[in-house]
Amino acid sequence: MIENNAKKNRGARHNDMLISVENVSKDYRIGRHRLRVLRGVDLAVKGGEFLSIEGPSGAGKSTLLHIMGILDTPTEGAVIYEQENIASFGDRKRAYRRNRLFGFVFQFYHLLPDLTAQENVALPALAGLGIQRWRRGRKEALQKSRSVLDLVGLSERCRHRPTQLSGGERQRVAIARALINKPRMLLCDEPTGNLDTASGTEILDLLCRLREELNTTLVMVTHDAKVAERADRKVFMKDGRIVNQSRRQ
């Protein structure tokens, strides 16, 4: 069933919607030119939903995901969470909220090479700890990190550094890192894009299982139609706009 429900959701979104991107546009300046990469995007995501975002390269998928996760700010429009426009917060408040609300998983893992898997996973739990709470905080973060690595099936790899792990294992570490602060939402940008088919399927199965077990909301940018097939709702973007949506029957 194809539907264009951006407008339809507008009335209800503050009730059953977890987060909504409202009339968001994004411009980049290149020299004297202005490049508009998002053009008035409306997208509301329900708590617990698995939403995929597809579209050609350059359509604005990553830009939209970054704005939804308040990694980047829109030129116009709002990101509403619990009736607040979290995109309008100052840097510190935005960083604090981002770290608790969202977990990010990227195509190329972005793990720090000199840290072990356990230390990489612990990092978001250490953000913002003052000197006074550092020692105890670090111990707790490393303990939590162990249990999240266990959740993604990597308890035997805690002491490995990223170069000592396979691609699929590195992505599991990145997923564990995304989960350590118990976020409401996982925002994934082509999480299987750098993996062979078998490892990609394992990662997708893992994300789907974690979403069920932890009751997490999942938003996933993907070029892979098979990955998108698993989503509750598929959104298609082109030229900075959502051009179509379909819901799984």
Give me the residues that bind ligand ATP (CB under 6 A), please: 28, 30, 35, 37, 55, 57-63
Query: Taking CB within 5 to 8 Å according to partner kind, which of Mg ion, ligand ATP, none is near residue 216?
Result: none
The residues, any chain, with a CB within 8 Å of residue 227's CB and separated by 6 or more, are: 52, 192, 200, 204, 220
Q: Compute the least distance from the CB of residue 189 to Mg ion, in Å.
A: 6
Cβ-contact 206, 175 below 8 angstroms: yes
Q: Compute the least distance from the CB of residue 203 to Mg ion, in Å.
A: 17
Helix (H) or strand (E) holding 32: none
Rounded CA separation 104/72 (Å): 13
Q: Compute the least distance from the CB of residue 188 to Mg ion, in Å.
A: 11
Closest by CA position to 219, among listed 42, 54, 27, 25: 54
Q: Which is nearer to Mg ion, 57 or 83 (CB)?
A: 57
Q: Which is nearer to Mg ion, 54 or 119 (CB)?
A: 54
Query: Taking CB within 5 to 8 Å according to partner kind, which of Mg ion, ligand ATP, none is near residue 58?
Result: ligand ATP
Distances (CA, A) of 187 to 36, 155, 166, 202, 248: 23, 24, 22, 18, 20
Q: Which is nearer to ligand ATP, 2 or 30 (CB)?
A: 30
Q: Which is nearer to ligand ATP, 59 or 180 (CB)?
A: 59
199 binds Mg ion (CB under 5 A): no
62 binds Mg ion (CB under 5 A): yes
Rounded CA separation 239/249 (Å): 27
Q: Which residues bind Mg ion (CB under 5 A)?
A: 62
